[in-house]
Chain A
Amino acid sequence: MLKVNNIDVYYDKVQALFGVSIEVHQNEVISIIGSNGAGKSTLMKTIMGLNNAKKGTIEFEGERIDTVKAHSIVGKGIVYVPEGREIFPDMSVIENLEMGAFSKNYTKEQMNQKMQEAYDLFPRLYERRNQLAGTMSGGEQQMLAISRGLMSDPKLIMFDEPSLGLAPVLVDEMFEAIVRINKEKKKTVIIVEQNAFMAISISDRCYVLRNGLVTMEGESKELLGNDEVNKSYLGG
């Protein structure tokens, strides 16, 4: 479904990704783990067109998307839920959700139905629907960011550090939601995490990034048993 082929990405003169290739199939959950600065977010942003790859190609459903403008990527069916949530603080929850569907021309009923789905996933959002998003707690903002991403009914949804700065009980809730998004809503999922254990345990396959290189890839089950992964990322 998504094929990232041997891409090099630079920030000015500093190279951030070195020949990175990943492949994602329909209905999979892929985790990308690695420490701070390994290039995980850079990879996501490059897929979204926010960074440009100097070399290599990105294909989505057989179509080159590395030359497509950033604001057109959503229309192709890829959504990125960025690190640090990036919600619109001076808009209400409802307005934030509406903006998530910006790329679609929904009728009023379709819009209401999508919102109902968001409220079903996170009932808390319904309670907060008229509140300004900037005044909500971190966990609620993360719920909003995830739901906002789902509003455009994407085929592939990418989560960047969804557990960042959240209380453990909320972290579990986020990961449960992500599993439901994959299983019930049939979305292909990429999850980027520093919380490696959680990410690996809910994913089918995993890529390990280190200093801009893919150093390991494979079935999540196998990587969980791998000594090096254990030592470096799982604290074992």
Chain B
Amino acid sequence: MASQIIQLIINGVAMGFIYALVSMEYTIIYNSTGLLNFSHDKFITLGAYIFAGTFVLGIGVNPIVGVLATIITMFLFGVIVAVGIFNPLRNMPSRLFAIMGTIALGRIISEAIRLIYGATAKTVPGFITGVYRIGSIVISKATLVIIGVSILVVVILQIYMMKTKAGKAMRCVNQNKTAATLMGINVSRSIMITIAISAVICTIIGVLVVPLYSINVSMSNTIGLKGYAAGIIGGFGYLPGAIIGGLLIGVIENLSTVVIAPVYKDCVSYIIMIIVILIQPRGLRALIRRKK
């Protein structure tokens, strides 16, 4: 029993990190532009397809090279999305324009994927397979890779935002766009970089879930939604909350299978989200009280 619970927690942490990355990926865009990227789950799917369909199965490169090539491709894709959608639409009289823009983009990505890669699901044979056994605990290699890479992403993003000039500029843009402009920060360019970074995080998520799911057009629907739930639980727009919210959901939903049937596992995170909205809409952010 104890080993079963430990195993559930470890798997939960891994899934939790996936949700946390999803949550981070759209939170940085939300903070910079005040807009939600409704095509974010499609970015994840696109990343997985470019990695698997184009680079690994198509051209036949080594997966590591494939990951790097996909990251570069998706970074450029993010730049195009910023220039084509976010920057022109964010200054429109209503946010609705940008919302519709990203929803339309999501549809375009899905259909483009179907056209380019076909409707059948793909798998990458032999990509991060294998298990480790410690006593009676069985941990898949994919789980460890997810946890390791996610921690790396969190740390790198933190260093970027706290230590680099571009990262600090990004935080300024989040807080006050007029003042940022007066400091000489090119707000549109900063937003462009933010969206490109978000696209890169999406790619990393897409690649990380390749060993877990088959690659198909709807592969990221569930994690996309749970990423939103994680963000709401953490306090919308609050990055540390997004990470903790993701981990909480991952661990709780996995542990819930001890008491309820695994079929209902996916409901758990949405129920937690609804309870949080009802009781404390600010989520975990409410726990941090600022000295005034």
Which A residues form the contact surface with B (CB < 8 A)?
Answer: 48, 50, 69-75, 79-80, 82, 86-91, 95, 98-100, 102-103, 132, 134-135, 148, 152
B185 within 8 A of A: yes
Q: Contact between A152 and B184 (Cβ–Cβ < 8 Å)?
A: yes
Across the A-B interface, give the 10 residue pairs with the lowest CB-CB distance, nearest first: A103-B184, A74-B184, A86-B179, A102-B183, A88-B175, A71-B186, A70-B181, A102-B184, A71-B181, A99-B183
Across the interface, which residues of B come within 8 angstroms of A48, CB to CB? 182
Across the interface, which residues of A come within 8 angstroms of B172, CB to CB? 88, 91, 99, 102
Least Cβ distance of B7 to chain A in Å? 39
Could you list 14 further interchain pairs (A-B, Cβ under 8 angstroms) beyond the known A82-B182, A102-B165? Answer: A50-B178, A50-B182, A71-B185, A74-B183, A82-B178, A90-B171, A91-B175, A98-B168, A102-B184, A102-B185, A103-B184, A135-B292, A148-B183, A152-B183
Instruction: Report the Cα distance A79→B179, complex, angstroms.
Output: 11
- The SS class assigned to the A binding surface is mixed
> 10 interchain pairs (CB within 8 A)?
A50-B181, A71-B187, A74-B182, A87-B176, A88-B176, A99-B172, A99-B183, A102-B172, A134-B290, A152-B183
Across the interface, which residues of B come within 8 angstroms of A100, CB to CB? 183
Q: Contact between B179 and A82 (Cβ–Cβ < 8 Å)?
A: yes
Which B residues form the contact surface with A (CB < 8 A)?
Answer: 165, 168-169, 171-172, 174-176, 178-187, 290-292
When C-beta atoms are compared, the residue in chain A nearest to B171 turns out to be: A91
Across the interface, which residues of B come within 8 angstroms of A50, CB to CB? 178, 181-182
Q: Contact between A135 and B290 (Cβ–Cβ < 8 Å)?
A: yes
Across the interface, which residues of B come within 8 angstroms of A103, CB to CB? 183-184
Q: Among the interface residues B165, B172, B179, which one has the most CB atoms of the partner chain A within 10 A?
A: B179
Instruction: Report the Cα distance A86→B182, complex, angstroms.
Output: 10
Q: Among the interface residues B165, B169, B184, which one has the most CB atoms of the partner chain A within 10 A?
A: B184
Least Cβ distance of A157 to chain B in Å? 12
Least Cβ distance of B24 to chain A in Å? 17
- Other-chain residue from B169, B176, B178, B291 in contact with A102 (beta carbon distance below 8 A): B169
Across the interface, which residues of B come within 8 angstroms of A72, CB to CB? 184
Instruction: Report the Cα distance A135→B292, complex, angstroms.
Output: 5
Least Cβ distance of A114 to chain B in Å? 14
Across the interface, which residues of B come within 8 angstroms of A79, CB to CB? 182
Across the interface, which residues of A come within 8 angstroms of B185, CB to CB? 71, 99, 102
When C-beta atoms are compared, the residue in chain A nearest to B182 turns out to be: A80
Across the interface, which residues of A come within 8 angstroms of B171, CB to CB? 88, 90-91
Across the interface, which residues of A come within 8 angstroms of B290, CB to CB? 132, 134-135
